[in-house]
Structure 1
Amino acid sequence: MAFSRYVALGDSFTEGVGDPDPTRPNGLRGWADLVAEQLARHSDDFGYANLAIRGRKLDPILAEQLEPAMAMRPDLVTIYAGGNDLLRPKVNIDALMERYDAALGKLVASGAHLVIWTAHDPKASRMYQPLRGRFAIYNELARELAEKHDATLIDFWRLRDYHGWALWADDRLHMNSFGHQRMAIEVLDRLGVEHDLAKPVVTEKPAAPRNEAIRTNLFWIRTEAAPWVHRRVTGRSSGDTVSPRRPHLAPVE
């Protein structure tokens, strides 16, 4: 496939959190930038926009990003939405996916080819493992939507490279730079786009001694988990003061 107008929608996953680059907008790179750079090699007039903002749930993503995206008349749209909803105490997954379905239908009707995701398998995380059933329900519905809209599906759940921690950032929620590169490769391969990205070679770290593991977990609770819970309790989001990294279609530099 060849594309010339690519728009990326979503939350922190698509914004690029976990893959820092101080030279880029919001200080991030991420898998979507890597995909855009490779797509640009196959088009003489390529434009890329990234409207994703960290912390966004599905409804704000659709309310804030859908119409601006369609106004750019993209021929490729990537969207991963709903992950933050699954982490909330209560969520109606069926209703959530009905709204997602309607939005995807609008994007397809505008002429865009879609790339969508399932959620990853959280079995390696003690914190997120209790939500595994939610993730599985979301995933089956996402697979149905991919079939309905003839979308390219990235089945994150089945990507076993992500089942350990080697491709995850220290916050245990976002992919690290290796993880973003691995995801970019998956997207390009599923689209059938030639690229020169090398699959990162990483190894799982051996289990730390008990005392060290306890210190690491306490540090994570203090610096990552507690602030996340505080934002939930106070109704705030990590993206409240964040703007889209690339709000307009522009060439890839």
Structure 2
Amino acid sequence: MKSLKAKFRKSDAHEWNKNDERLLAAVEHGEVDKVAALLAKKGASAVKLDSEGKSALHVAVTRGQIECLSVLLAHGADLSVTDASGLSALHLAAKHNHQECAKKLVQSKCAVDTVDASGRTALHHAAASGSAPVALLLCEHKSPVSLQDAEGLSPLLLSARHAHADVCSVLLDWGADINTCDHNGRTAVMLASESSSGSAVEVLVQRGADLRAVDSLGHDVMHYAKLSGSSHVKSLLTAALHTHSEPGEKHTLKACSHQGR
């Protein structure tokens, strides 16, 4: 972190000034009038990164300061600027579950398909944080619903892993591939089972998840249910497997066919 701070301090030392510092503090405290006044002064910038690699814009969306964000946008803040972690304003709004900020950014033509260093879009972050309203908003604005990140995780896989059944439903409504698997061959229903999320497992089962798939090590969904220790999840899956089986049917397990990005 020291080298990162040094990097930003070195590049911005001749530019960062008291007005920039005051702007950052004003946004942090939601002082809208002060934000507007500081932006009107020469030198104060909504997107200039401080020594820690964050700007007034990034602080506004992280803290959900919608009124401050509106002022920053009115002064032409560049929405393509990322923070030190490579996250855009929209990534941060989705990650921190700030629906109004995300809506404002999308209305301001912020790109919804921009990926961070891990290959994740704002929709990935909304899925991981469990924000169904933000996920719906992004889907409505054509965010790629089945894009996989560097680990092969799609938004659906992330929402299942983090036990967000409502987000799973939104993504499936918008065409997410229910049987997509990550680089280890794990499907959404496997991840939901491992997370002991009965509600997510139920959604995925009802929507037609393949319960016969196996991961790259040959483990099926019941393996993940046992790992979770959840008797509820095990009961759900046992009942589903029984319901979907025909009398005398020979059960064959098949490896998940990984789909790349």
Q: When the two structures are superposed, what TM-score results if normalisation uses the length of structure 2?
A: 0.24
Which of 1 and 2 has higher RCO (CA within 8 Å, sep 6+)?
1
Answer 1 or 2: which has greater helix percent: 2
Q: When the two structures are superposed, what TM-score results if normalisation uses the length of structure 1?
A: 0.25
